[in-house]
Every structure is written in C-alpha cells, then in structure tokens.
Structure 1
C-alpha cells in the first residue's frame, strides 16, 4: 500500500486529499513515462460524479503537456477502459471513479497495457514525483505537444463486444437493472435491450451528485423490492463504475458474489470450461461457499481481500473465474478485471441454459451467518500478535471446529483490526467476536 495509491488506485475526497494538482501530476508523469520511446497514447474514462470532469481536464492537461495523445471515452465503465486498452493497443488507461463511494469522493485508477491494474512499482514512482522526489519532468514543445481525441467509438465497440458474448437471446426474460446513477447508465440497458430482454431500469438518471445514493449494489434492498413489485425473473445492481454486480433472484433475494461464483463456477465445470477445476476467492468468502464447492468437487484458492489479488492469482495460474463477496467477479476468458455487466450476462447464460430460476440455482449453497466488527487499536500488529489474543483465537477455532471459522486481520488503511466469525447462528458469531474483543480490551490494546 503506497502513500496515495491503495488497492484500487488513488482515492480521496475531491479537492481535499485528492486534488486537481494531484491529477495534473499523475498525468505529467504517465505522459512522460510512457512517452520515452514513442508518442504515448492513453485512454481516459470517467463515471458520473460532479468532480470527474475536473479531474479529466487536469489529467488531460498533464498528459498532453508531457507529449501524450489522449483519447476520451467520456462516461463509461471501468471494465470498458480495461477492454479498450488491451484491444486497441494503448499504452495505458485511466478511469476516474471512486467506485461505490459517495459522490464527493473520487479516484484515479491507472490500467496498464494488458488491461490490468498498474504495477505497484510504477505507482511508487508516481508518488515520488507527486512528492517532489523526482526532478521536474521536461515539457513537450511544438509538434510534440499532445492532443485530445473524442473516442466514444471505443465505448461503442465495448458494448458490441458484450452483446457478442451470450450464445442465446434473452427473449421473454423480465430483467431489472439498477444502474446506481453511475457508469452503467450509459451502457447496461442498451446491452440487455439488444439481447431481447424485457428490461426494467431504475436509477439511471445521474445528475453528478446522486451516484450510489440509496441505490446500486451497496443498497440492494431497492432492487429487491423492485423485482418483487414487478414480478421480474431476475435483477442486477451495479456500483458507480460498474465493475461489480450483485444479483437479485426471482423471489427477491440477494445473490452476492459468493453465490455468483458458485452458480457460474458449477455451470462452467459442467461445460468443461472451469480451468484447473478451481475458483479463486478471497479470505472473506463465506464458509458455505467452500462447503458447497467441496460437495461438488470444485477446488478453490483464497487470496487477500481485493480483486487486484484475485486477478493476480488467476493470471499466474490460468484460472477462469474468481471474485469477491462484494460482486467483483472476473471471467478471465473475457476480461482482465471485474465487470458487472459481463457478470450479469454470464448469470443469464446459466439461467437460460439450465432452464432454472436463479433462486433454485443458488439454493444449493447454505450461507453461514457472519458477524464482522472493527476494533480501533493503538497498534495493529501488537493487537494481532498479543499472546492472550492469539490464545483466545485458537480457543474459538477449536470450539467452532468444521462448523464455523474465525478470521482476525489488520485493516490496510486504518488503525483497525477486523474480527470476523462465521457459525451456524448469529448468536454464536456475536458471542465469539465479543469474546476476542473483550480480551483485546483487557490487554489495553483498544483505543
């Protein structure tokens, strides 16, 4: 984790801890870095936040001042930037978005030439330049100064690519889409309409300040009610930049990333398309997913929390599907990053090919109750490794046996230790979480 760049780019409140000066310097460095051997070509997309225009123009100023040509996709999704970068031969891509955060936050996510998140080593160099540890970079002059190009055609090609993926039409399927007043508003309905679905759309009127506001994948209760009220076959909710998807089944129940991994992973195995017979999860995936995979003879790997780590594991090992509970699902045959709209298309494929409703497909997984509490501590490492804390964690592990699990981990960004327990009931979860926290308090580790 760098000073500015976390697992999902450089994020902060617009013009508070992520400013136009930061954006300008990111542009200056990337334009110079990729332009040392040839004239750099860099593509930019943005979500619907009020500040996204401001950051777009700041990035463009920095990039073109360093000699890069900049291609503007305008309002689009993070996965579309990834797709355009790797299929159109760009040096890198930039997505301006803070994903599921409120409108006043924003972020700069840099995507490398392979369509994956930028290497940490390059992010570290950008940080050094921002902090003045690298000498001032030369400005491009005369004909070497960069220019901007309207590249909405790139977004249209991505839409065409999505439409080409399903093997069957969605005719007579009643589908609800919650676009979170974000990036999906510009794309999702077009895709489902083209595939023949009867599409019902909500929260697709962005005004710059309503992105993620009581809508989308972080407020799934809105879509759950919409699916029930309109008796839809299925619903899909996206986040602000549409790189994640949470589904709602025909009964109005939430289908999170773990259930999506199971439904799609099992279908891929049946089709002989589950590479290495393995799905990739994070350590936060539910015990119920692992038990269901064991029953079906599906192997799994666990990574640190973050779709970045899921993607790295998949690419290194050639796995075909992986993701997180939050709905970041990666299908490596089609994409190099989580793609919410693509995920919804792959779920539709299973529903249509299996001729079963999503509620039936997901019912094979028994999701275990999960309680997670954040504890503010003086020192994360000390709190995690305290002998009395280690002893109580071991005691809880033994008590739970194979009917639950405990996970105690440090936050990557805050002075917080996260204590999570999965067990057969909420009461048991709370009991053991509180037991661990009580020991931390007794050891004077808690703020």
Structure 2
C-alpha cells in the first residue's frame, strides 16, 4: 500500500493516526518492510539485523504490533518483543543491547483511539527527515522476499525492561549502588494508565521514595483518559490530599513529565529544565553552559537562564529537533515546555521517568521544596490561539501579516513576544503571545488571530 503522495506520511514524531482507520494493519506491515529495507541500505542495519519492538497498553497496539513484527520478520529481521514499555525504554535498549532497529507502537499523549509507529535506528536515535522520506518512497515497491532460514525469527523477552529501570536509577549517582536515596520523599505518580505504569513507580520505590500511584491500572481503553500530563487535575488534588512533596504526571508512552508542587500548583517543562540546568551547571555537567529549548519556551525561562549565565539555543518544536541541535553542538540538556526533557548522558530521547527521578533527587540534595526550586524563573502569561481553515503555507510570506507581527513585537518590547507557527499536522496556524498580564496576552493574541484569519483565508 503506497502512501498518499499529496501528504507526508511521517509527522513530527513518527506515523500517527486513528488506529484501524488511518493507521491500519496493512499500512503498519508495509511501513515496517520499507523501514527494514531503507535502514539496511543506509548501513544502519547489520547483516543479521535484530529489532526490538515495544508498545504502550492501547488495545490497538496488540494488532499493530503483530503487523509490525510480521513485516520485519518477512524482511529477514529477527524480532524481540519487549511488551509494554516506555518509548525511551525502547530507545535506550536499542543502544544498550546493540540492536539494529527499534519500533515503538504509541500515540504518546493522544486519545486511546489513536496510535502511532516510531522508529529508532542503531544507537537509539529517531530517524531524520531524509530517512523517513526514503521509507515512504519505498513503500509498495516489489522486493525479493527471503525464504527458508532467511526469514526473521520472533521471540518474547521482557527482561531487558528491568535493565532499563536499573539504568534510570543508576543515573542518580556514579552507578546503581551509590545513587542518591529518595527516602523521606512522598511522591504521587500519575502514569496515565500508560506504558510507565510499572517502571515509573518502580524506579522511585527502588530509591526509597514513598509512592502513591494514580491512574496506574491500564486496561487497553483508558490510556490518557482524563489523566496524565494532559489532564493533571486529579494529580493536583491528590498531592494536596495526601500531603505529598511532589506529583509527577507522565503521558501515555512516558517520554514527557510534568510536575506538581506540594500546594498543587503545576510545574511545567520549562521550569523543570531551569531547575535541572542550574543543578547541572553547579555540578559542572552542563556542557558549554548551554541548554537547547524550542521556540515555544516561555520568555521567563530565557530570562532566568540569561541571569544565571546559561545560553539558550532554540530549535523547532519536537524533541527530535531538540536532540539534533544537542548532537550538533555536543550539549547535555534540552527539552520542551510540554515536559519532553533530554539528558544526553543517559538518553537519546525525552524520558519522563528519568526527568522525574532527577527532579526528586534535586529536591533531596538541596532540601528545598519544588515550589522554591521552581521560583528560579517567573513565567510570563502565555496564550495560544489556533486558527484553523487557513493557508498555513503563506504564514511567513504575507506582507500585511508580517507587518502586524513586527508592529506587535515592537510594542511589546522586552516585556513580551509573539510567535506564529504553522501546524506540522493540521491545516491551521498557531498564534502564541506572551505579555506582562494574561489580559494583555489574550487581547494581543485575539487581534493577531483575526489578522491571520483574514489574510490567510482559503
């Protein structure tokens, strides 16, 4: 089944869609065959390739996993099924075990009916745009099928997931034996009924934290449903109710983490990154005293980092673009406001459980509450308005719109900023405004959205 030539199959984070409607078993199988071929031609696969395949608990992941495994094995790839595991667990295990390819079935924070396929090349890195495009072009082409002993073999092995958990714990020290203890810390963990329902609480408990779990009973249908990082309200209430020191919210595949302080207030990815950046600079492990953020990072984060002598580089939205910039410059920390944080020393992608562990460890090491640590930056009110049904391709070329953006930018000065960003997956333009007050930000955003709606009308 060849992909639609009018639209790119791969989005900002793999191939994603409504399972069994957009993302079918046939598509998953063909995609896996094409990926095996292209990665082999690129030199990413060894002569006898091995693939690791993991998934989140979505019901649709069961049949999609079968399709992916069938496609890989039919192309001569030996497959190890890891079962339910966080996305960063698959990435790390590909590197740690020397596998040639990794596949994760997950739609991350999206609702249960959606699903997705993410590929990792040798070394545990997500594919770049060129490889993704080559895979799309290869789909549907005829190929020489192996037979007999040439077909791939399939095994089930969940034991490596324990190695991943041990790795997370060991990151809190020089090795697993001297990792900082979290004893005395009470943590509420919302696993979003997702992939980290065991590994998240388990890693914290191993280090002595008192853990209260929330939304940690996946049934294949309840992933991300009114819980996790996209719906933290119940976590905020639970932290206050239990008198906890910290709340951690993961998404469905646990590559992101948001936090809640003892008063029930949210601590987002920018604030967490600010806390960890200062800790790493203090320890001398923040490479080049630089962090990599995205264009969506709050101006308050940029101001705080500048005040502490830390340079901020801004990449496109998407953790793979953050990682690309990190690899280019040899930087050790990067992330997004949404809670995707990448610790290059320990991971090749965003890892929510890893982030949560290091945030908890910082609280223990300093003896400070999360609210105290988060006060290092002052968030400016930020408003995001989506403008659908417009020609997003003209968002950077329309002269009148550009003039409006320039005028607003000059008017806000150093007290705010404005950003127009065409969506990578939908026919809409996102208008983001930061200003000194919520009312000011909302007013500016609404006015600019009206200009976008008028100037970019289809």
Q: TM-score, normalised by structure 2?
A: 0.94
SS in 1 for 2:297: coil
Cα separation, 2, equivalents of 1:242 and 1:33: 28
Asked whether 1:289 is paired with 2:301, we answer yes
Partner of 1:94: 103
SS in 1 for 2:271: helix
Cα offset for 1:99? 0.2
C-alpha distance after superposition, 1:399-447 (max 9, x if no partner): 100000011121122221111110011111122122223334454x335
Cα separation, 1, equivalents of 2:271 and 2:364: 17
Cα offset for 1:383? 4.2
2:11 corresponds to which of 6, 16, 39: 6
Cα separation, 2, equivalents of 1:331 and 1:76: 19
Partner of 2:218: 206
Asked whether 1:154 is paired with 2:160, we answer yes
Asked whether 1:40 is paired with 2:49, we answer yes
SS in 1 for 2:146: coil
Cα offset for 1:377? 4.3
Cα offset for 1:122? 2.3
Asked whether 1:446 is paired with 2:452, we answer no
Asked whether 1:386 is paired with 2:398, we answer yes
Q: How does 1:114-129 map to 2 (within 5 A)?
A: 114-129=123-138
Cα offset for 1:28? 1.9
C-alpha distance after superposition, 1:52-101 (max 9, x if no partner): 01011111111111111101110000001001101111111000000000
Cα separation, 2, equivalents of 1:185 and 1:442: 46
RMSD over aligned CA atoms reads: 1.5
Asked whether 1:26 is paired with 2:31, we answer yes
| Closer/same/farther in 2, CA of residues 2 and 88 from structure 1, 3 Å limit | farther
Partner of 2:412: 400
1:344 corresponds to which of 345, 352, 356: 356
Cα offset for 1:120? 2.2
Cα separation, 2, equivalents of 1:173 and 1:383: 48
| Closer/same/farther in 2, CA of residues 368 and 12 from structure 1, 3 Å limit | same
| Closer/same/farther in 2, CA of residues 418 and 32 from structure 1, 3 Å limit | closer
Partner of 2:3: none
Q: How does 1:144-293 map to 2 (within 5 A)?
A: 144-166=150-172, 167-293=179-305
Aligned residues of 1:384 and 1:417 also touching (Cα < 8 A): no
1:304 corresponds to which of 313, 316, 325: 316
SS in 1 for 2:115: strand
Cα separation, 2, equivalents of 1:440 and 1:360: 40
Partner of 1:434: 446
Partner of 2:175: none
1:73 corresponds to which of 76, 82, 107: 82
Alignment gaps of 5+ in structure 2: 1-5, 173-178
| Closer/same/farther in 2, CA of residues 23 and 293 from structure 1, 3 Å limit | same
Aligned residues of 1:32 and 1:137 also touching (Cα < 8 A): no
Cα offset for 1:309? 0.5
Moved more, 201-210 or 113-122: 113-122
Asked whether 1:82 is paired with 2:63, we answer no
Cα separation, 2, equivalents of 1:441 and 1:147: 54
Cα offset for 1:350? 0.9
Aligned residues of 1:35 and 1:67 also touching (Cα < 8 A): no
Partner of 1:331: 343
| Closer/same/farther in 2, CA of residues 209 and 355 from structure 1, 3 Å limit | same
Cα separation, 2, equivalents of 1:169 and 1:374: 44
Aligned residues of 2:25 and 2:63 also touching (Cα < 8 A): yes
1:356 corresponds to which of 368, 376, 395: 368
Cα separation, 1, equivalents of 2:395 and 2:334: 31
Aligned residues of 2:38 and 2:138 also touching (Cα < 8 A): no
SS in 1 for 2:20: coil
Aligned residues of 1:32 and 1:67 also touching (Cα < 8 A): no
Alignment gaps of 5+ in structure 1: none
Cα offset for 1:376? 2.3
SS in 2 for 1:63: helix
Cα separation, 1, equivalents of 2:372 and 2:388: 41
Cα separation, 2, equivalents of 1:346 and 1:50: 32
C-alpha distance after superposition, 1:189-215 (max 9, x if no partner): 221111111110011100111000000
| Closer/same/farther in 2, CA of residues 378 and 218 from structure 1, 3 Å limit | closer
Cα separation, 2, equivalents of 1:269 and 1:226: 33
Aligned residues of 2:38 and 2:134 also touching (Cα < 8 A): no
1:139 corresponds to which of 131, 140, 145: 145
Aligned residues of 2:38 and 2:131 also touching (Cα < 8 A): no
